Structure 1
Amino acid sequence: MASEDVKRREGVNKAPSNAVIGICKSLIAGGVAGGVSRTAVAPLERLKILLQVQNPHSIKYNGTVQGLKYIWRTEGFRGLFKGNGANCARIVPNSAVKFFSYEQASKGILYLYRQQTGNADDAQLTPLLRLGAGACAGIIAMSATYPMDMVRGRLTVQTDKSPYQYRGMVHALSTVLRQEGPRALYRGWLPSVIGVVPYVGLNFAVYESLKDWLVKSKPFGIIDNNNSELTVTTRLACGAIAGTMGQTVAYPLDVVRRRMQMVGWKDASSVITGDGRGKAPIEYSGMVDAFRKTVRHEGLGALYKGLVPNSVKVVPSIAIAFVTYEKVKDILGVEFRISD
């Protein structure tokens, strides 16, 4: 009897310990996935932001190749990766929280869905429910790390010919807090929340739904015969399709968010968009005002500035992130994956 009590207590103590270890492994896998995928496309990420906020009266480049050549010529190899350290400092925790939040949201939504349908074992998440789980994960992750994204955008925009107001992420955070107040760190948050719903939601929903369909239909050559799972190449393709759909829908909101983040930066007039009468930066009173002024001064096409490098970037970035996440969790021995 005494031995049974001891075993029972050991089991109770062991369960929370295993749960904590599982959470840590999941967060590590998500962080690694985010860091690897974003570093792989860092030059395209920087070019996208520069195009989004470029002054229309002082255009230095119009295309992806031309822009990358200009950065290489004026700033060298390091210029291609400027802001990547700050970006990784943001994307690693963001990705960790996003993937973990998606797993937890999926479990919770699936439990409620099974309770509602009365099917406790066989019911699976529908694409719409996956979209909801992905949207929840995106909002949580984005909100938790938004101040870092805000200052990362400003660090990325700085060039050799612009005043260097910020020396790094910590200096940028402290400077914005001191000069513009705490609210400035969340400038552009609303369009980010609205944009993250279709972006992250579609990423997860399309990726998983496409994988489920491929596993069930089993077209020739996409299943690894050794373990009856999709090959890495097929997973990359699924991630690429998911990323393309998500970013196309949400891109105008990303442009508006980035421009709102530049508001209040007094030394940024040489690099951010002008008001149509010179190089003075535009002031936006809110998201709707940012949309209206952008379209009025630069046309509807301005909402898609930087879309080409972003499309080139997002396809490998999302694909690498999904595959890296699942592979790292395999290495760490975590049983639950987003593909389960």
Structure 2
Amino acid sequence: MALQTQIRENFPEQKVSLFSQLRKEHLLAGIAGGTTSTLLLHPLDLIKIRFAVNEGATRSLNRPQYNGVFDAFGSIYRTEGIRGLYQGVVPNILGAGSAWGLYFFFYNAVKSWLQEGDPRRDLGPAVHLAAATNSGVLTLALTNPIWVVKTRLCLQYDASCKNYHGFVQTLGKIYRAEGVRGWYKGFVPGLFGVSHGALQFMAYEEMKTQYNLSLGRNTDHRLETLEYLAFGGLSKIFATMTTYPYQVLRARLQDQHRQYRGVLDVIRQIRTHEGFVGFYKGLVPNLLRVTPATAITFFVYESIISMFTPKSN
């Protein structure tokens, strides 16, 4: 209450509706950023998923075994070619593009609404976290079926016996065999994963804000290319190290080769058979992918937004 009182004393009261803050440039910029980074780095995402679902040689007799990231690259390329490294790329592009676009779209609308239309108002980490959390839940509800399709396509190991062929066919086949529930497998750990995006956006916003304030500039001052790349990459590392296990849980629930009785069953089996390290399988290729991917995404996003926003002095 004291914070709200202070804000109202420092800034004039403005009545701004949430819907009036929905701006298409944030949607388009987010789609462009997510699509660009996914096209460049999809093979690392595929390898991360294969590592995440692998319970070990004794429990994964039907899965290929890899000795690290480079061995996985070489093995997939030798057996499946370039196409093998890009299995699931279409739903990944659709998912990443729509997820980033919707996330930026919702997040900036909520943030602007809380700022009452004043982009220079510093909301603080707690409010940034709340805005990002709300945006994450909305985005996940709209995009979860895309991630299920991507996971299924990425986990087709043998080109001679593929059950799924493309995004639309896979979406339809999952629905016919499993119903709407099939589209929303992994949704619960995905909700835990909302904290990942929330922490990332909070860290990104706070780094930008504190950096500008340290240089005596307005909080909405547009930054340089390397600054966006650095803050985007650092915020992703922070969020990934904090929340990575949910990605393992979600991938295993969405895996067509194994059946679990829910999130608690996955947790129990990983803890029993693989130990603590099982919750972090695929972390290395994931960090190799998401750090530059997020830096690229934020850079492309901010570059497009800069076209619509004059630089502050």
TM-score in terms of structure 2 length: 0.84
The equivalent residue for 1:319 is 295
* Aligned residue number for residue 305 of structure 2: 329
**Deviation digits for residues 219-261 of structure 1 (CA, Å, limit 9, x no counterpart):** 9xxx9xxxx7432112111111100011111210110011011
Q: Deviations over 1:278-309 (max 9, x none)?
A: xxx3x322112211111112222111010000
Residue 141 (structure 1) shift = 0.9
Match runs of 1:206-217 below 5 Å: 206-217=203-214
Find the counterpart in structure 1 of residue 11 from structure 2. none
Q: 2:249 is matched with which residue?
A: 256
Q: Deviations over 1:30-72 (max 9, x none)?
A: 1111101122211111100011112522452131112112112
- C-alpha contact (below 8 Å) 1:37/1:321 kept by paired residues: yes
Q: Residue 103 of structure 2 aligns with which residue?
A: 98
1:26–1:334 CA contact under 8 A, matched in 2: no
Moved more, 122-131 or 80-89: 122-131
**How far off is 1:92 after superposition?**
1.5
Q: How does 1:1-340 map to 2 (within 5 A)?
A: 23-57=23-57, 58=61, 60-111=65-116, 123-160=121-158, 163-197=161-195, 199-218=196-215, 229-262=222-255, 265=256, 268=257, 281=258, 283-331=259-307, 333=308
Q: Are the structure 2 counterparts of residues 167 and 254 from structure 1 closer, same or farther at C-alpha, using a change threshold of 3 Å?
A: same
Q: Judge which range, 62-71 or 203-212, deviates more.
A: 62-71
Q: Deviation at 1:121? A: 9.5
Identity of aligned residues (%): 32
CA RMSD of aligned residues (A): 2.6
CA distance in 1, matches of 2:67, 2:125: 38
Gaps of 5+ in 2: 1-19
CA distance in 1, matches of 2:171, 2:36: 24
CA distance in 2, matches of 1:44, 1:218: 37
Instruction: Tell me how far apart the structure 2 counterparts of residues 161 and 40 of structure 1 sit (CA, whole Å).
Output: 23
- Over 6 Å off, 4+ runs: none
Tell me which structure has the larger Cα radius of gyration: 1
Give the deviation of 1:122 after TM superposition.
7.0
Report the Cα distance in structure 2 between the residues aligned to 1:122 and 1:320, rounded to whole angstroms: 25
CA distance in 1, matches of 2:120, 2:114: 14
Contact 1:30/1:96 (<8 A) preserved:
yes
- Count of residues paired in the alignment: 286
| CA shift in 2, pair 1:41/1:330, >3 Å | same
Alpha-carbon distance in 2 for matches of 1:200, 1:141: 11
Is 2:55–2:274's contact at 8 Å kept on the other side of the alignment? Answer: no
Distance in structure 2 (CA, Å) of the matches to 1:62 and 1:121? 49
Q: Which residue of 2 aligns with 1:9?
A: none
Please report how far the alpha carbon of residue 148 of structure 1 lies from its aligned counterpart in structure 2 after TM superposition. Answer: 0.9
Consecutive unaligned residues of structure 1, counting only runs of 5 or more, are 1-18, 115-119, 269-280
**What is the alpha-carbon distance in structure 2 between the residues aligned to residue 162 and residue 318 of structure 1?**
35
Please give the alpha-carbon distance, in whole angstroms, between the structure 1 residues aligned to 2:176 and 2:111: 40
TM-score normalised by structure 1 residue count:
0.78
Q: SS where residue 181 of structure 1 aligns?
A: helix
The answer to whether the 8 A contact 1:196-1:250 is kept is: no
1:202 Cα deviation from its structure 2 partner: 1.3
Is the contact made by 1:215 and 1:229 (CA closer than 8 Å) also made in structure 2? Answer: no
Question: Aligned AA for 2:204?
Answer: Y
Partner of 1:62, secondary structure, is coil
- Seen in structure 2, the aligned counterparts of structure 1 residues 121 and 251 have a Cα distance that, compared at 3 Å, is closer
Task: Report the AA paired with residue 156 of structure 2.
Answer: Q
